[in-house]
Amino acid sequence: MNRELQTEFSRPSSSETIDPAARTEIIVGVLLAMFLAALDQTIVAPALPTIGSSLGNAEYLSWIVTAYLLTATAVTPLYGKLADIRGRRPVIFGAIGIFVVGSIISALAPSMLVLVIGRAIQGIGGGGLGALAMTVIGDVVAPRERGQYQGYISGMWGIASLAGPVVGGFLAHKLHWSMIFWINLPLAALAIVVLNNPLKKLPPVRSDHRLDLPGASLVVLATTSLMLVLTWGGSRFAWTSLPILGLTVVSLVFWVLFGLRIRHCDEPLLPIEVLKNPIVATASASNFFSMGVNLGLSVYIPLYLQGVRHLDPSSAGLSLVPLMGSMVCGAAFSGWMTTRLKHYKRVALTGITIAVLALFALAFWADSFPYLGLEAVLMVAGAGIGTSFPLVVISVQNAVAPANLGVATGAVTFLRALGGAMGVAVLGTVFLSYGLAQNAETAKVLSDLGPQGRSAFATIFLAAAIGLVITNIFLLLMEEKPLRSGHGER
């Protein structure tokens, strides 16, 4: 681990060898690559009912999202080390290639199973694109100048959050759902063209890092078996049935093995010593639940808008813009205020509390709100949820020594992605527990879920509110350590 950090902080010389024009090209290219990964987390949500009607087996709709998140989560920590071993250019092009292959498989999928497999392959590539973009920016931008580029990165994620639902809904409604995957091909080609020559100017990098492939495999196996429990329990099998109990035991075994792995591996997927820091632990736990609510709502609100409020996919995608846009605004405001207030937790605690109240209102009165009223409540919920995201990163980075900055940030990113995958799975369990979308026939009426659908989504909103209550509990437990004013080697 120390070798990794020494390598990271020895790279500023790379930024000195890149001329400004090439640096701009590289940054534009890696941001475009990052956009590919970010877009695919939100673009599929408005198309889910259409996909369920087309392919059947709609009880696995949540897997279209979680398969991507699951594999992306597992491989994210591996790509940085792989780039240290093989160099930036071949690894980032390899990630783009894997992402394109997954997109093609998803677009051509004749069944739900093939689509889920395609999405899992997409996640293997997409998980690397985000990690490698940060690595390459670290290569070409001097440490003292990197802060200004965080705005570009946040802006790219914000654009993807806004564009994904709109583009996904439009393509599914006006053209065909497969277009949400075909659109990745020209974007990937553009990223390769922009990055090809500038990345050649980066000096070659070699190190003796080792990839924790066993650790990544254990995470995938543990999470997959747990998600099967959540998907099948109460719908296909009784909660006390042998298959569900067996899968629960299997998941626990794999989680235990993963815990043993990170304790004894020289370069583990998730460093245990970083998680022993109480601020890192509580902040990561808070982020785990808030991201679970965030991604879960981004998947199931379009289903609510189509199945209960009877909007078409395109309109449902547009209706998600206030939620996602206000979330970006809430995050930007919180980040700005956090560095200016002594008691910086108050912004996020207040924001999350307001979001909890908004979700409780949706749970009890969502169907009573007029359309504009519903959009207003979604905006309030999104802004509140967004306030927690920058607070977590700033608190964690402030709590650790500069030498542990990369490792701590990587741990938070890993758990955030895992929380997103689990959040989608848990809300999917609630959805299925009401007997909805159990087969191809019921998948055809996802556009009119009736009273059962209204009850299901009331419970989903209630579960999301409870998730945010837990988020606030961990924020309260997190020590409010004074923010350091000096940047040093950061």
Distance CA 363, CA 293 (A): 14
Q: Which two tokens stand for residue 24?
A: 């701009």
For residues 111 and 230, state if they share a domain: no
Q: Which of 281, 292, 338, 293 is nearest to 474 (CA)?
A: 281
What is the per-residue pLDDT across 283-314, written as a single tens digit (0 to 9) for each? 888 988 988 898 888 778 877 887 788 887 77
Q: Is 306 exposed, middle or buried (0-12, 13-18, 19+ CB in 10 A)?
A: buried
- What domain count does the chain have? 3
Task: Judge whether 207 lies within some domain.
Answer: no
For residues 135 and 222, state if they share a domain: no
For residues 22 and 150, state if they share a domain: yes
Q: The whole model's pTM is what?
A: 0.71
User: Tell me, what's the pLDDT at 483?
Assistant: 67
CATH number at residue 163: 1.20.1250.20
- Low-confidence spans in the chain with pLDDT less than 70: 1-20, 22, 57-59, 80-81, 84, 131, 134-135, 137-155, 158, 198, 201-209, 231, 234-235, 339, 401-407, 409-410, 435-450, 483-490
- Whether residue 299 contacts residue 427, with contact meaning beta carbons closer than 8 Å, is answered with yes
E strand or H helix at 284: helix 278-307
- Whether residue 394 contacts residue 338, with contact meaning beta carbons closer than 8 Å, is answered with yes
For residues 398 and 277, state if they share a domain: yes
User: Tell me, what's the pLDDT at 256?
Assistant: 92
Range of the domain at 410: 270-490
For residues 152 and 260, state if they share a domain: no
Helices (H), 40-108: 48-55, 61-86, 88-107
User: Tell me, what's the pLDDT at 6?
Assistant: 45
